[in-house]
Chain A
Amino acid sequence: MDIIKKITRRSFIKKAIITLVSLELVYVFVNLLKKGGETKVSSNLFAAGDIDLFEKGRVYPFSTERFYLSRLDDGGFLAISTKCTHLGCTVQFKNSDNKFLCPCHASAFNKHGEVLAPPATSALDLYNITIENGEIFVDTATPVKRAKYNSSQITYA
């Protein structure tokens, strides 16, 4: 209880003012840092091409847009982000091994983006796909996080 006895009215007001001013400075500073990142676009549709261009069971790179378009054996599509969920390196699809490999920490993912080898713990992010008149559009503005793969994530024509 020593601490409580030490606080007088004067020191309380003094400390309160110092705390308030510091909090305000921190608040202003954090907002200043946030401001720089505010260039968010709500959606950015990228036209990947006609459905017929993509063979079943193959994975197509769109490296400038940072995703892979994976056409599964049943004809469904997944737009998989190239950003490794472990520490953000760029994964690459190895056709010979039929899996995504991360060069930084050797995580591996299958064609659905599921984890095959740690240290990554969650599946690769997805981008939303819409198909209109047989053409595929991928929304590259917002990656969708997921822990595991399930079949509802696949888009069919």
Chain B
Amino acid sequence: MNKPGTQKAITKFLLHLHPPKVNAQSIKYTRTFGLGGIAALLFVLLFITGMLLRFVYVPSEKGAYDSILYLQQEVIFGQLLRNMHYWCGMLLVIVSFLHVIRVFYSQSIFNERRKNWLYGLLIMFLVIMSNFTGYLLPWDQLAYWAVTIMTNMLSYIPLIGDPLANLVRGGAEVNEGTLLRFYHFHTGLLPLLMVFLMSIHFWLVRKAKGVTVADSSKKEMVPTTPQLVYKEIVVALSLILILILFSMLIDAPLLEKANPLESPNPSKAPWYFMGFQELLLHMHPSFGIFIVPVIVTAFLIYIPFVKDLQVNVGVWFNTSVGKKVTIWSAIYSTVFTMLIIVSTEYLLKFQSWMPDAPVLITTGLLPLLLYVLPTFGFILMMKKHLKAGKLELIIGLVSILLTGYLVMTVVGSLMRGEGMHLFA
């Protein structure tokens, strides 16, 4: 490896991605946890395993399930290949999500990184879309009903809902046409778009002079090769090793072949959408599917554009007050969300108390106010007692939303059994 030719080629190639020298602080593992790089590596792994899977997979109602069985039973290392692709895909959702959280809490979304925050959110959306379109492809009961539930969620968007859901499915129900178009989104359009957006994403990181550092006054620089490159190689190789071992031990799930006549009990959406499904149990769909997500997304997009913020770029939680705010918000959100879930399950039945009032008010507006008003009070309290500034309060609000979604995801996927009853 030490031949000058090879060395030069590697160095020259890598320097298209990295600058020749990097700030010593920025390559400490705990600065970024390597999350962006891990996500990129997972994308490459998914690309390779996906290309191989395409040789066996048949995207039709008759052939899909059987081709998966054939892959698992007849093809050498077929099961391992599918497991690798499956677990890489699931890990990619988690890692991308953690990456979003990391850049948010380390104040790396302001000023020149604003645009990249938006591209990042867009890529996060595409990651979830890729995973979701892939979810249908095995054409088993799990896939069929998860996609039925998800596409029906779309139909609750006001005005354009029904046409949109039918456009996504290519009909009133999930059928062979849906499978075909999901296959093409999954293996063609979405990866292509992602390669394009990832290139812009990386380029914008370099344009902002690399990742943020906690103390921008320290300017000690170290050469990229070997300092950074070796760390990257260690992380990449360990990750690949762990993934292969994990895939050898744990198989990707596969239920019986899809049967449109019988929904399994309980039927659940993919786990990363379980927060939404949980929300839907407590709230009118046009709130749970449309109003709440649109407000939250608009808020996330708006954060780096808020005026008059005291930003300490690169500092975790901005200040020590920000850290306190984050911890308190997380605790508040965990307790309060759990409380609301349990109480709407057993005690608060607005719909049966006021059967004549419109459902949009009894199951939409009232539960929303029930959550928003105490949360607003809590934020005012943090402002008063912790002397939190504007940015700290934004951090608090995001923490409440994130923790709330996580709690709903956990409750929905782990604590609900038959008939979607709590603790069943």
Binding site for B on A (CB under 8 A): 30, 33-34, 36-37, 39, 63-64, 66, 82, 86-90, 101-106, 118-119, 121
Contact A33 B280 (CB under 8 A): no
Residues of A close to B169: CB separation below 8 A:
37
Contact A33 B170 (CB under 8 A): yes
Instruction: Decide if B20 is an interface residue (CB 8 Å cutoff).
Output: no
10 closest A-B pairs by beta carbon, nearest first, are: A103-B265, A88-B152, A36-B170, A37-B171, A89-B263, A104-B267, A37-B170, A87-B152, A36-B177, A106-B419
Contact B261 A119 (CB under 8 A): no
Contact residues of A: prevailing secondary structure = loop
Identify the closest chain A residue to B286 (Cβ): A121
Contact B266 A118 (CB under 8 A): no
Binding site for A on B (CB under 8 A): 145, 148-149, 151-153, 166-173, 177, 180-181, 260-268, 277, 280-281, 284-285, 351, 359, 363, 419-421
Q: Which one, A33, A89, A103, A118, contacts B363 given CB within 8 A?
A: A118
Identify the closest chain B residue to A121 (Cβ): B359
Task: Tell me the bound Cα distance from A88 to B263 in angstroms.
Answer: 10
Task: Tell me the bound Cα distance from A102 to B177 in angstroms.
Answer: 26
Contact A118 B420 (CB under 8 A): no
| Interface contact tally, CB-CB below 8 A | 80
Contact A121 B284 (CB under 8 A): yes
Task: Tell me the bound Cα distance from A129 to B16 in angstroms.
Answer: 69
Extra A-B contacts (9), CB below 8 Å, given A33-B167, A103-B263, A119-B363: A34-B170, A37-B167, A66-B261, A86-B152, A86-B280, A87-B149, A87-B280, A106-B420, A119-B285
Residues of B close to A104: CB separation below 8 A:
145, 149, 263, 265-268, 420
Contact A89 B145 (CB under 8 A): yes
Task: Tell me the bound Cα distance from A112 to B281 in angstroms.
Answer: 23
Contact B148 A87 (CB under 8 A): yes
Contact B267 A36 (CB under 8 A): no
Residues of A close to B420: CB separation below 8 A:
104-106
Task: Tell me the bound Cα distance from A152 to B268 in angstroms.
Answer: 36
Residues of A close to B166: CB separation below 8 A:
37
Contact A103 B264 (CB under 8 A): yes
Minimum CB–CB distance for B28 against chain A, Å: 42
Contact A39 B149 (CB under 8 A): no
Residues of B close to A103: CB separation below 8 A:
263-267, 419
Identify the closest chain B residue to A33 (Cβ): B167
Residues of B close to A30: CB separation below 8 A:
167
Task: Tell me the bound Cα distance from A104 to B177 in angstroms.
Answer: 24
15 contacts between A and B (CB under 8 A): A36-B181, A37-B166, A37-B167, A37-B169, A64-B261, A87-B148, A88-B149, A88-B152, A90-B261, A103-B263, A103-B264, A103-B265, A104-B145, A119-B285, A119-B363
Minimum CB–CB distance for A153 against chain B, Å: 20
Task: Tell me the bound Cα distance from A103 to B168 in angstroms.
Answer: 24
Interface-centre pick from A34, A63, A102, A104 (highest chain B CB count, 10 A) = A104
Task: Tell me the bound Cα distance from A39 to B419 in angstroms.
Answer: 34
Task: Tell me the bound Cα distance from A55 to B304 in angstroms.
Answer: 67
Residues of A close to B177: CB separation below 8 A:
36-37
Residues of B close to A106: CB separation below 8 A:
419-421
Identify the closest chain A residue to B260 (Cβ): A90
Contact B421 A33 (CB under 8 A): no
Task: Tell me the bound Cα distance from A30 to B153 in angstroms.
Answer: 20
Identify the closest chain A residue to B165 (Cβ): A88
Residues of A close to B152: CB separation below 8 A:
86-88
Residues of A close to B264: CB separation below 8 A:
103
Q: Which one, B149, B285, B359, contacts A89 given CB within 8 A?
A: B149
Task: Tell me the bound Cα distance from A121 to B153 in angstroms.
Answer: 13
